[in-house]
Structure 1
Amino acid sequence: MPPKYILTPEQQAIAEQRRAERAARKATDAKKDESMKFLRREWLELRTAHNPIKVLTWNTENLCSPQRWHIMLNVKSFACRYVHVGYPRFDGQECDMLPALLPSLPNHTPITAAGPGKSHGLVILYNNSIFTQLSSKVIHLDFENLIDNHPDGNSMETTALMKRARASSRYTKNIALLAALSSNTNPKNGVIVATTHLFWHPKYTYERTRQALVLTRAIRKWQSEDGLVHWPVLLAGDLNTQPSEATYHLLASPHIPLSLAQRQDLQESLVVHNSVEKIPLIPPCSSTQTTVPDLSASANSGTSTPGQIKTAEEKEEDHDDKDDKIAANCRSPMLDGSDGLPTVDRLVKLYQEEFPFQGAMSVYDYVFILPSHPSLSLTRKQVEVDITKVICPPHPDQLGKGLPRKEVCASDHVAVGCELDIMW
């Protein structure tokens, strides 16, 4: 057996240096892999789809701090591996962080809009290899009438009638974004997409319920004006509601009586906030956009992004939105009915008139498929849509003590997604 080779001191030093370099590279790669992790969620298949499209709705608002941008940088990995580029559409809210998502979503076109004085807003992101934008529209929910009343003129009487017709309980500046997307294979086929962020406070159910109804009316009106009543309507967004609440119940099952608890919640929320006096008579002029700012310079320099900067109006709203301010600045509706707020029974009736036969045909969390347009006859229904896959929700134990959370989700909201089969 030949004698064992012994390294010289110089060779030993070189070997030690190489081992240290390999260990450092391994540690760096492990750290990099760790930072790219996210909570994996599987698809649950219900049935086979013939004409599948996938829908994702996700509110990417999370932190109002310098950490926000660094957390959102990890979304690139999240989007590339989870929000697959095959998604025909992405509905979302809080689109101030959209530039962090777009590099991972090639062949997608964003449609964006924001409310008055807002630094963030809504986005509908669709796959332009599958769909083409036919038209889009912004709906200002504070300015939509709840009661069918169309006064004209500028007299004080007309002003009072307009306020009564709107039946608003507060000035929210909430908007909705609508888009008509036609199929690239057959432009006669398409879908109407609507996304929104309804009023947030859990205690004040009425305003959220009012907004959901006036939004549905606005969608129906827009369908009629554009001659798209046979196209299916997908409503997805942060509706700030749940199945046990009146808003969700009336959208899904308006002809099933409300529970006693739901009626009580609605009744107790029939109050008027002093912000209603700030609602202008004429709605602001808003248009949609299909471009987003380039935030790469901000990311590289370490400076704050536009999504972190709040306008003066938003700072004032944050102050007003505190629980004590909301409660202190509310009053009961005027006895003469000048505020326009309906009774609970009247509100239920308005929903039943808007949905004469049924509520949403299919519902998956915050994805609603609206029933056929009321103008369609029983023999000429809209294109049918069915849910064929869903993204399994995370288990509460996986979310830890709250979101956003490293290795789980970059936002304080989890994404909701499903696959739809459109019977074109």
Structure 2
Amino acid sequence: MKPSTLVRTLLMASSSSKRSVSLTPEQIALSEARKAKRLKQQQEKASLPQNQEQGNVLSRPWLQLEHTRNVDGANRVRIFTWNLLAQCLVRRELFPTSDCLKAAQREHMLYRELVAQEADILCLQEVDRLEKLLPVLEKAGYSYCYASGPRKKHGCLIAFKKDSYQELDTRLVHYDDEEIRSEGSEIARRGSSFRTKNIGHIVALKNKQSDFGLIVATTHLFWHPRYTYERARQAGILKREVVKFRDTLNRGRWPCIISGGEYATNCQFAFQRTLLSDFNFAPDDAAYSLVTGDPLLPSQIDYLKTSQVVHATIDPSVTPDPAKAITQDENEEEADPDRTITNARPAAASDGLLSPTELHDLFASSGPPLKSAYDIGMRNFTESNNAESVPLFGNRVDLQPDRHGAYEPQWTSYTHYWKTVLDYIFVIDSSSRSSVTGLLVPPKTEDLEPGLPRKGVCGSDHVSLSADLLFST
């Protein structure tokens, strides 16, 4: 038999064999069930808005504070702050329990949560992938102003409803370059312990429908848990520069002149100062006490003193730790997992680091303490309603009753390795008095287990905060 004839014969036999195979009733039923399931999934997917499945997040109610809801002639502002967890910082080893670390898994959750509260002003930290985020903000009716530190792959963004507000001016604060004393060498005048490349981002906004205005600042302070001093220094600088920015506007750089927190010419702007940030310190930290005007506790002073070091980024003569080589990204959050101070030496007097007393003076010299929207709002609500359903920081950490911080959310960052409070909405009143009229209720611990980011819960490792503020004269 010829080879070609043999091939044709084999093919015909194979075809005949295939035709002779018949499915059992059970196999036919299983095949039909699979087809029906696929069809149902396709129909359900087609009936949902685009990307809705990927964008589901935990639903969180608002807490309305009845005793301050109705005030005539006042200005109301909804503020939203959130650390988005920059994609460039995501590492699987940092989030072993997360089920959504890829950008495509997280981004629609982030976008939905950003616009869901319909806030007037958004303050965002760890912002990257601007080519994806900015169109979402524009579609939702926001204008924005973005800034980042030198050679940083992520930054801070302030967005505002473009139909309601207009940007008047901005100020970018480079903490590494700011001085905290007038005498001594350049290094001593800065009094820094670490060149971190962190920034403070400040924007002046005016309401288009009235004479009301806001100065809004957001920041992402140095993350390292052991560098308590450097975080306190940066927070003090930010408060000082926000007030200085207001005072600069008061000297006539704008069409109107500010006086005692107000502009007074043919029109009058009542400017408030609002700081919304990832401060990277907890309510029992020394920096929080300095920000809110509480006296420092002995334990907080001890933490400040042990963190008064000078890193090799300030003094290149520091001998590096062989086990901890200095890297370009050492100041990023994924670095130094041991959470210890390395590549640094104890500070000397010539380095100019501020003593605890001098740190207190840095904060006090720029005006009254900051007020936390959550700490004040939840304190008032709890005392008026005897409420115990909202999870608070004071439920798990014992704070003295005369100190601030117990009524902050129980968690604002919750992952497998770290669970803490790092995010706040702070307000400095001017001539108008601020009241907290509503708060976005923080999630409960069971909602956050086994750690963020988590599908259907939150696309970041941080929890978003939002507050309704009322400013009355």
Bucket of the pairwise TM-score, normalised by the shorter protein: 0.7 to 0.9
Give the TM-score of the pair, scaled to structure 1. Answer: 0.75
1:420 aligns with 2:434: no
Pick aligned residue for 2:344 from 330, 333, 341: 330
Q: Residues 13-412 of structure 1 correspond to what in structure 2 (within 5 A)? A: 19=36, 22-26=39-43, 28=45, 34-46=53-65, 47-48=68-69, 50-63=74-87, 64=90, 67-75=101-109, 78-79=112-113, 82-84=116-118, 87-105=119-137, 106-149=140-183, 161-186=185-210, 188-227=211-250, 228=258, 229-230=261-262, 231-253=271-293, 256-277=294-315, 315=329, 317-318=331-332, 321-322=335-336, 327-334=341-348, 337-355=349-367, 358-364=368-374, 365=408, 366-372=424-430, 382-412=431-461
Deviation larger for 40-49 or 112-121: 40-49
Judged with a 3 Å threshold, the aligned counterparts in structure 2 of structure 1 residues 323 and 53 are, in CA distance, closer, same or farther, namely same
Change (3 A) 1:77 1:315: closer
Q: Distance in 2 between matches of 1:328 and 1:408?
A: 36
Point out where structure 2 has 5 or more consecutive residues left out of the alignment. 1-27, 93-100, 251-257, 263-270, 317-325, 375-407, 409-423
Partners of 2:450 and 2:197 in 1: how far apart?
31
CA–CA distance in structure 1, aligned partners of residues 79 and 307 of structure 2: 33
Distance 1:168 1:112, change over 3 A: same
Deviation of residue 102 (structure 1)? 4.0
Could you say what secondary structure the match of 1:276 adopts?
A: coil
CA RMSD of aligned residues (A): 3.1
**Deviation for aligned residue 1:318:** 4.7
State the alpha-carbon separation in 2 of the partners of residues 319 and 259 from structure 1. Answer: 28
In structure 2, distance between residues paired with 1:396 and 1:102: 32
| SS of equivalent to 2:275 | strand
Q: Identity of paired residues, percent?
A: 31
Q: Say whether the 8 Å CA contact 2:310–2:345 is kept in structure 1.
A: yes
Distance 2:114 2:329 in 1: 34
Task: Measure how far apart 1:80 and its partner are.
Answer: 7.0
Aligned residues of 2:373 and 2:467 also touching (Cα < 8 A): no
Aligned residues of 2:452 and 2:460 also touching (Cα < 8 A): yes
Amino acid at match of 1:181: L
1:201 aligns to what SS in structure 2? Answer: coil
- Alpha-carbon displacement from aligned partner over 1:320-361 (angstroms, at most 9, x marks no partner): 941569623111112xx2100122223223323333xx4114
Which protein has greater RCO, CA pairs closer than 8 Å, 6+ apart?
Answer: 1
Task: Quote the offset at 1:33 in angstroms.
Answer: 5.5
Instruction: Determine the structure 1 residue equivalent to 2:15.
Output: none
- How many equivalent residue pairs? 352
Question: For 1:175 and 1:333, how far apart are their aligned partners in 2?
Answer: 23
For residues 128-149 of structure 1, the C-alpha deviation after alignment (integer angstroms, 9 at most, x for no partner) is 1110001111110111111244
Cα 1:222–1:80 shift into 2, 3 Å: closer
Give the Cα–Cα distance (whole angstroms) in 1 for the partners of residues 334 and 53 of structure 2.
40
| Structure 1: distance between partners of 2:302 and 2:330 | 31
- Tell me the TM-score normalised to structure 2 length: 0.68
Q: Distance in 2 between matches of 1:409 and 1:347?
A: 36
**Local SS of the residue matching 1:327:** coil
Residue 281 of structure 1 is matched in structure 2 by: none
The amino acid of 2:69's aligned partner reads T
Matched-pair contact (CA < 8 Å) for 1:76–1:104: no
Q: Which letter maps to 2:433?
A: E
- After TM superposition, the structure 1 stretch with the greater mean CA deviation from structure 2, 358-367 or 316-325, is 316-325
For 1:404 and 1:325, locate their aligned partners in 2 and report how far apart those are by CA, in whole Å. Answer: 22
